[in-house]
Homo-oligomer: A and B are copies of this chain.
Amino acid sequence: MKKTSSTIRDVAAAAGVSVTTVSKFINHAQRFSPPVEARVQAAIDELGYRSNPLARSMITGETRTIGLAILDILNPHFTSIVKGANRVALQHDYTLLLVDTEESQDHEQVLIEALAQRVDGVIVSSRMPEQSVQWMLELHKPVVLFGRNHHFPIPSVGTDSYLASYMLARHLLNQGHRSIAYVGFGQSRWNNERIRGVQACLAEQGLSASVYDAQAASPQGGERACSSIMLGPNRPDAVICYNDLIALGFIKAARALGFSLPQDVSIAGFDNVPYGEYASPALTTVDLQSEKMGEIAMLKLIDALAGKNDTEYSLLEPRLVVRDSTMRRAGASASEDASAARAIPIRKGTSR
């Protein structure tokens, strides 16, 4: 084990050829006569030579590396995104570099700018308001965003949150729930869409949801939000949480308060994180196709890197996953649910 690693010049000298020959050889850019190739290869093995990617990147201008900034690595929704993005990156011979901005939200921009300098392009999940991401355009690098941006022409991917929450609300209505609460997460981009979806659906029945806010998009946030909602004057019979993590925390806290779930209250979330399935009661949720979001974002970025710049915003379809945390409300007629599918289309005033 040598102290300092050898350079291309060392190899060239050892093999008795020029650096160009070595460079071309290691990049498979050209074939050489068998004796030369043999000598070069021998020298490389001998010296344990490894090409320095930094030096290479400086000239070629590309790092074969893509940056991904996520909001919270502890949230399985984001790890699924990473999984999808990573798989595609690997397939295209890119390395994914991940940054978790949760620990330093104030420095989100700084962190991402620093990341952008070391990679060919970045995929960003951000909490910043849509109108204040101008700086991303000044990165001089391709950027893909999670969530549509109406102010700037940045390619993006997202799942239809409005539709997702509309579906969830409809499901709860169909089950006979009438007093529905929404526990949101105000810092998120998606929160407003989800509120709108719920309210639009309830409005069709002349109803309205009570809107609360969890201070964190985590189980702890849900736990903390629970008591004031469940023990307050307007106890809901169903609760839609901003995400599965909040829902899981809410469930735990509600049980600790003595409620039976789902008999006393139905709970649902968004994301379809893997662990909702193992919770008790198993969590009803909306699958937002996290992994696919990651895949598509990466595909878009790789396309942008290749010069293509056609697609702007890809909208994925949400899928309702009904489990045990939502149940037919006692007193609701059995026919109501069955007729729902037919009933919806003829209703009037469905609009976003």
User: Within 8 Å CB of A65, what residues of B?
Assistant: 118
Q: Does A263 contact B (CB under 8 A)?
A: no
The yes or no answer to A333 lying at the interface (CB within 8 A) is no
Q: A79-B79, A100-B83 are in contact. Are A54 and B57 (CB under 8 A)?
A: yes
Give A contacts to B, CB under 8 Å: 1-5, 48, 50, 52-55, 57-58, 63, 65, 73-74, 76, 79-80, 82-83, 86-87, 90, 95-100, 103-104, 111, 113-115, 117-118, 137-138, 140, 219, 248, 251-252, 274-275, 277-281
Between-chain CB contacts (< 8 Å), 25 pairs = A1-B138, A50-B117, A53-B114, A63-B118, A65-B118, A73-B83, A73-B86, A74-B76, A74-B79, A74-B83, A79-B79, A82-B100, A86-B100, A90-B103, A95-B114, A95-B115, A96-B98, A98-B98, A219-B278, A251-B278, A275-B278, A275-B279, A278-B278, A278-B279, A279-B280
Whether the pair A140, B275 counts as a contact (CB closer than 8 A) is: no
Main secondary structure of the interface of A (DSSP, over half): helix
In the assembly, how many copies of this chain are there? 2
**Which residues from B are CB-within-8-Å of A55?**
58
Chain B residues with CB under 8 A of A57: 54
A96 to B274, CA, bound (A): 26
Docked Cα-Cα span, A99 to B83, in Å, equals 10
With known contacts A1-B138, A83-B73, A99-B96, A54–B118 Cβ distance under 8 A = yes
For the complex, give the distance between the alpha carbons of A99 and B99 in Å: 11
Given contacts A48-B138, A58-B55, A275-B275, contact A103 B87 (CB under 8 A): yes
